[in-house]
Amino acid sequence: MRILVAGGAGYIGSHTCVELLNAGHEVVCADNLLNSKYESIRRVEKITGKTIKFYKVDLADYEATKVVFEENKIDGVIHFAGLKCVPESIQVPLKYYQNNLDTVFVVMQLMKEYNVKNFVFSSSATVYGDPKVLPLTEDCEVGGTTNPYGTTKYFIERILMDMCKADSSLNVAILRYFNPVGAHPSGMIGEDPNGIPNNLVPYVTQVAIGKRPYLNVNGNDYDTPDGTGVRDYIHIVDLAIGHVLALNKLATGSGLVIYNLGTGNGYSVLDIVHAFDKAVGRPIPYKIAPRRPGDIAACYADPAKAREELGFVAKYGVDDMARDAWNWQSKNPDGYGEEQ
């Protein structure tokens, strides 16, 4: 299939482009490079030996995005485009609502005009809010989001459900990611955050490379085995393969489907720190700090539905995640560097 990867130059998008090309799909990528570099696309081409047709385009701009649909016969869209920084979303909510929703509106409108039926959407475990039961199945209550970023995901899920009700020919996969981490084993592509990382793993790798003195472990008084927050970390390559499997499902005329993409295993912040101690070969310095506002104690998936219906099985463990994240960071201390 010829797949439009919206936001494909970003962290998850670039890894998904690799897996799509490896699976024999053609990739058209559209990204305004707001939070990414074109270098990621060059490197995907190097890894796979295949080419990507790239458009630098704001997907909230209807006219500009129309060119992509006009010039390419698209069979399906994977929609990664969006802003994802939780604290920023609290400060500038309108920017988040506008960008995250408008990009979906424009792409869905053009899909209708160009008769494209298959759509994969990047949602997040954040739609479950503070879980009442664990592990989380897809039937668990959603909507208790605690920040505008999470609320954009919840709203978009609802909009997609309404669209599928109105048009039974649409096939939509909502993928609720747990915590994607790590990098492609080649060390050529990986996560390249701007400024101070908000998320645990990029912060740890920056401590390991010497850019930051120590990690703040946010809270050791949660009701978890060691008191630190527990999450379901999933290797980015496993997550990327989940998108290829979701496309296969859509191709069967699935209608609306929703899947958790996680491993089903919960690891604490200190478990992750210790996995990095091993990967890096020396202890990662850390200090216990106050809880981060809005954080939950524990969150992990029941991955059974994705396993049964997609054949999705995460094959990498936390030691692989730490090894590959460190491989990427140590080979690329400044990420993709400045754009040429």
Binding site for ligand UD1 (CB under 6 A): 84, 86, 124, 126, 149-150, 179, 198-200, 203, 215-218, 229, 231, 269, 292, 294-295
9 binds, among ligand NAD, ligand UD1, none (CB under 5 to 8 A by kind): ligand NAD
Q: Of residues 149, 177, 233, 316, which has the active-site annotation?
A: 149
Cα dihedral 204, 205, 206, 207, rounded to 10, equals 50
Distance CA 198, CA 294 (A): 13
Question: From the list ligand NAD, ligand UD1, none, which binds 150 (C-beta under 5 to 8 Å, kind-based)?
Answer: ligand UD1
The CA-atom distances, in angstroms, between 322 and each of 237, 275, 281, 326 are 13, 6, 11, 6
Question: How far is residue 118's CA from residue 256's CA, in Å, rounded to a whole number?
Answer: 10
> Which residues make up the interface to ligand NAD (CB under 6 A)?
7, 9-13, 31-36, 58-60, 80-82, 84, 99, 103, 122, 124, 177, 180
Nearer to ligand UD1 by C-beta: 218 or 254?
A: 218
Q: For ligand NAD, which residue has the nearest CB?
A: 10
What is the secondary structure of 206-247 as a DSSP string? HHHTTSSS-EEEE-S-SSSTTSS-EE-EEEHHHHHHHHHHHH
Distance in Å, CB of 26 to ligand UD1, minimum: 29
Residue 13: contacted member of ligand NAD, ligand UD1, none (CB under 5 to 8 Å, by partner type): ligand NAD
Query: What are the backbone dihedrals phi and psi of residue 3, each rounded to the nearest 5 degrees, phi first?
Result: -110, 130
Q: Which is nearer to ligand UD1, 126 or 265 (CB)?
A: 126
In the annotation, is 114 catalytic? no
Name which of ligand NAD, ligand UD1, none residue 59 binds, using a CB cut-off of 5 to 8 Å depending on partner kind.
Answer: ligand NAD
Residue 182: CB atoms within 10 A of its CB come to 27
Active site residues: 149
